């Protein structure tokens, strides 16, 4: 029984250990993808969430299996947190038939509908209206599930954000909006793009609650999203949560990050690493030992190595399926 940490009621010590392992999975997956892109072994583009592991793992931890999520172009962490298999994710990035989209979607289009993941999205803000449609389905059919909608700070300036949040608010739809504010859009700081102090302040315009949370604190993420999910499930409508976090890598694989300082990057890496923060708390509370934490990290690293082997050994999709799954 957890006594000294404030966590939602469904979060057990076993679940906390699983979440620690899960955050390492997310990090090692994206670091391995970064390595393979640099070597030219994976093609296309990718957007990595290294440094943002707690916002995905913490938020999704409070969902039920029936609940849904929509993701973003920076969505590998969301996929893993909602139960996606690292093998099939890696195979998708390698363009192999065993991938989630049979190798046709790549990094920005992984979906796992069976697990409630309605898909990543290559369009900035593209998943927000989809989440509202999912929530409307739940409400009209009385299905009882909540949809959690992830998007970045840049998407909060898109028309799709304002239209979808307004609709969700006036109809009290069971959706939770989570803005992962990693401080930068493609190549500029949020302060140059948004006039208000916090993106969550925009919630007031739609008559819904808006809350700011430390997105690198997995416990804070779990608590605020649990409140929002339970509120939505009771039929009280949406909430806008702004998770303040930081991407360690560039916007995409081709980003030289010339718009920010190396001192800033090192501050976030050394002092605000979400995985190290969780590790310190788990050890101090006696939930894991130093040795057990190290083993969980090693197990996650091995799982990603196994996923690479699975992807490399998987077949390429045959030419005959080229026109399948295409709308005319």
Residue 1 confidence class, pLDDT cut points 50, 70, 90: low
With cut-offs at 50, 70 and 90, classify the pLDDT of residue 197: very high
Output the domain CATH number for residue 164. 3.40.50.970
Query: Does 5 reside within a domain?
Result: no
Collapsing DSSP to helix, strand or coil, 287 comes out as: coil
Do residues 110 and 100 touch, judged by C-beta distance below 8 A? yes
Confidence check: pLDDT of 209 > 60: yes
- Summarize pLDDT for 144-167 with one digit per residue, the tens: 999 999 999 999 999 999 999 999
The band of 256, judged by pLDDT with boundaries at 50, 70 and 90, is: confident
What is the model's pLDDT at position 327? 75
Q: Count of H helices and E strands in the chain? A: 10, 5
Percent residues over pLDDT 90 in the chain: 86
Does pLDDT of 321 surpass 90?
no
Q: What is the Cα–Cα distance from 45 to 107, expressed in whole angstroms?
A: 7
**250 domain residue, yes or no:** yes
More confident residue, 213 or 45: 213
Query: What Å distances lie between residue 170 and 133, 166, 167, 178, CA to CA?
Result: 14, 6, 5, 18
CA dist 4 and 275 (Å) reads 19
Provide the residue range defining the domain that includes 79: 13-309
Nearest Cα to Cα of residue 14 among 272, 214, 300, 296: 296
CB 82 within 8 A of CB 116: yes
Q: For residue 6, is it within any domain?
A: no
Residue 103 lies in a domain: yes
Residue with tokens 């700081």: 189
Which DSSP string do the residues of 35-72 spell out, in sequence order?
Answer: HHHHTTSS-S-----TT-HHHHHHHHTT--TT-EEE--
In a domain, 71, yes or no: yes
Q: Is residue 319 part of a domain?
A: no
Cβ neighbourhood burial of 157 (10 Å; 0-12, 13-18, 19+): middle
pTM score of the predicted model: 0.95
Which tens digit of pLDDT belongs to each residue from 79-102? 999 999 999 999 999 999 999 999
Task: Say whether pLDDT at 253 is over 80.
Answer: no
In this prediction, residue 328 carries a pLDDT of: 66
What pLDDT was estimated at residue 41? 85
CB 176 within 8 A of CB 149: yes
Contact (Cβ atoms closer than 8 angstroms) between residue 290 and residue 283: yes
**pLDDT, tens digit, 9 for 90 and up, residues 210-222:** 999 999 999 999 9
Residue 186, pLDDT above cutoff 70: yes
Q: Can you give the pLDDT at residue 187?
A: 75
173 belongs to a structural domain: yes
The per-residue pLDDT for 6 is: 93
Helix orientation angle between 53-60 and 13-38, rounded to the nearest 10 degrees:
140
Least confident of 4-18, 162-176, 184-198, 260-274: 184-198
Selection from 56, 97, 60, 30 nearest residue 300 by Cα: 30
Q: Cα 286 to chain center, whole Å?
A: 28
Number of domains in the chain: 1
User: Is position 321 within any domain?
Assistant: no
Q: Which residue has the higher pLDDT, 217 or 40?
A: 217
| Average model confidence (pLDDT) across the chain | 95
Band (3; pLDDT cuts 50, 70, 90): low
């Amino acid at each position: 029984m957890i006594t000294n940490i404030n966590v939602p009621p469904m979060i057990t010590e076993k679940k906390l250990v699983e979440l620690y392992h899960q955050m390492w999975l997310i990090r090692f997956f994206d670091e391995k993808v970064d390595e393979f892109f640099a070597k030219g072994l994976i093609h296309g583009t990718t957007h990595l969430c290294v440094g943002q592991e707690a916002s995905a793992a913490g938020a999704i931890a409070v969902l039920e299996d029936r609940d849904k999520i929509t993701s973003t172009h920076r969505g590998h962490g969301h996929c893993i947190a909602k139960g996606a298999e690292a093998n099939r994710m890696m195979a998708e990035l390698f363009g192999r038939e065993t991938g989630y989209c049979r190798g046709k979607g790549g990094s920005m289009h992984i979906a796992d509908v069976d697990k409630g993941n309605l898909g990543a999205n290559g369009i900035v803000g593209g998943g927000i209206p989809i989440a509202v449609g999912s929530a409307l389905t739940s409400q009209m059919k009385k299905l009882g599930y909540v949809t959690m909608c992830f998007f970045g700070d840049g998407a909060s300036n898109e028309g799709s954000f304002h239209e979808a949040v307004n609709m969700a608010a006036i109809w009290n739809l069971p959706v939770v909006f989570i803005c992962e504010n990693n401080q930068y859009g493609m190549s500029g700081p949020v302060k140059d793009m948004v006039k208000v102090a916090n993106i969550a302040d925009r919630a007031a315009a739609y008559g819904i609650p808006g809350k700011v949370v430390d997105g690198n604190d997995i416990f804070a993420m779990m608590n605020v999203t649990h409140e929002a999910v339970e509120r939505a499930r009771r039929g009280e409508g949406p909430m806008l949560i702004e998770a303040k976090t930081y991407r360690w890598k560039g916007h995409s694989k081709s980003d030289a990050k010339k718009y920010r300082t190396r001192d800033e990057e090192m501050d976030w890496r050394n002092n605000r690493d979400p995985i190290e923060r969780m590790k310190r708390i788990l050890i101090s509370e006696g939930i894991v030992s130093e040795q057990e934490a190290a083993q969980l990290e090693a197990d996650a690293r091995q799982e990603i190595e196994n996923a690479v082997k699975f992807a490399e050994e998987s077949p390429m999709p045959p030419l005959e399926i080229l026109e399948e799954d295409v709308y005319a």
